[in-house]
Structure 1
Amino acid sequence: MSVLLEFTIRSDQFKLGHVLSGSGDMRFELERIVPTGGHTMPFVWVSTERDPNEDLPRFEANMRESDSVQELLALDRVDDGGLYRIEWEGQPEGLIKGLAEAEATVLEAFGDRNWTFRVRFMDHERLTNFHNYLTDHDISVHIIRTYTFTEEGARRRDFGLTNEQREALVLALQRGYFDTPSEVTLDELAEELGITKQAISDRIRRGNEKMLRPLLLSSAAR
């Protein structure tokens, strides 16, 4: 039976987090990890609450100057950020290598200086192997909880939204943002929450994606 693990980790405890943390006040979300040809290539969403036309080029320059990064490829661009593929210089190591060796599926991973991971393992044996890998390599994580795939079914009613995403979606729904025509603008919603227009746009977009993905993709696979 598959088992899920939620944990947090400081960015300085794994290579990807350490490299990204040098990019300033930005937020990162791990899209997926693809092992290929002995290398592990992470796909990362990068977002900023400031001007993306200034922050993203600076992020790209910092990453390409890093000794740990062999190649950075920009794959997509949205209002407040973009999707990147990162190829490491040399063999993968640390947390990402441990996840790859345990054949884990990263369901969710996000952070800046501190990261939160939600990971699925095919069975308890692979989870144990991952735990042993962390111990052997002195990688410190804070385990939030472990639970089975069956228990995840009940959790899906919450769609895995962050508190900020839920707050933004509820406010947008209450104020009529999704009505046609819309009764409120993003600027007005952002002002009410005391955040930028880009920030609330990001929370609504990512919140919608989290709710739609399990509903639409699971039904499409039937």
Structure 2
Amino acid sequence: MSVILEFTVDNDQFILGHVLSGPPSMDIELERVVPTGDAILPFLWVEGDDYEAFKEKVLASDSVDDIVALDNVEDGTLYRITWRGDHKDIIRGITEAEGTVLEAFNTDDGWEFHIRFNDHDRLSKFYNYCTDQNIGIHITRTYTLTERTESVKQFDLSNEQREALILALREGYFDTPSQVSLSELADELGITQQAISNRIRRGNKQVLSESLLTSATDLE
């Protein structure tokens, strides 16, 4: 049975956090992790005021070979980072335990991760990896998919996506004209603007996919 682990980790406890910490101040979300042979490529959504300074800072790290902008949209830029060398850090631990990144974003004090594992054995493998590598994570909670509310399970939304969508609806974000900004919604939840933007975007995609694509299949 799938199990979800939510935890926080300080920037100095893993390479990605260390490389991305410090000025310029940017909102960053880990989009996905792709293993390619012995290498692991992180993909990041980044939003802020100084993309050139951000790129220069990342390239200045001894741990980075390259950073490439793959896509630019209104909400930010998607980057791919290529590491130099083999790092035994938290990202490799997630990969080795076959974890799926549901959400991962920077906070004022470090990073917050929401990871889904196929079963408790893989979660234990990840935890043991962190212990062996002396990576200090702060577990917020763990829960199985069956412990979600029925309304969340209906569209396979994460609790955070559902919370963001409900708040956006109640506050009039989807009205024309919009009654509230992303910044105001983010302040109410105590998260970054990039984080709530991604939660709303992914939540909308999930609801529409489950509703429209399933209906379209039924009509075929």
Question: TM class by shorter-chain length?
Answer: 0.7 to 0.9
Cα distance in 1 for partners of 2:112, 2:94 equals 14
Among 79, 82, 85, the residue aligned to 1:84: 79
Structure 1 letter corresponding to 2:204: L
Among 126, 129, 134, the residue aligned to 2:130: 134
**Runs of 4+ in structure 1 displaced over 4 angstroms?**
162-169, 183-186, 189-195
Is residue 114 from structure 1 mapped to residue 110 from structure 2 by the alignment? yes
Cα distance in 2 for partners of 1:81, 1:203 equals 11
Q: Which is worse superposed, 55-64 or 207-216?
A: 207-216
Among 192, 198, 207, the residue aligned to 1:215: 207
Is residue 69 from structure 1 mapped to residue 61 from structure 2 by the alignment? no
TM-score by length of 1: 0.79
> What displacement does 1:190 show?
6.0
CA deviations on 1:13-72 (whole Å, 9 max, x unpaired) are 111011000343211101000001210001011112xxx3xx111101111121111110
Structure 2 letter corresponding to 1:206: N
Contact 1:165–1:203 at 8 Å: present in 2 too? no
Cα distance in 1 for partners of 2:93, 2:196 equals 33
Cα distance in 2 for partners of 1:68, 1:111 equals 19
Is residue 102 from structure 1 mapped to residue 88 from structure 2 by the alignment? no
Among 55, 61, 64, the residue aligned to 1:60: 55
> What displacement does 1:208 show?
2.6
Unaligned runs of 5+ residues in structure 2 are: none
1:93 alignment counterpart: 88
Is residue 178 from structure 1 mapped to residue 175 from structure 2 by the alignment? yes
1:151 alignment counterpart: 147
Q: Percent identity?
A: 43
Is residue 124 from structure 1 mapped to residue 116 from structure 2 by the alignment? no
2:2 alignment counterpart: 2
Among 181, 186, 198, the residue aligned to 1:206: 198
Cα distance in 2 for partners of 1:192, 1:118 equals 20
Pair 139,166 (structure 1): closer, same or farther in 2 beyond 3 Å: farther
TM-score by length of 2: 0.79
Cα distance in 2 for partners of 1:118, 1:190 equals 22
Pair 204,148 (structure 1): closer, same or farther in 2 beyond 3 Å: closer
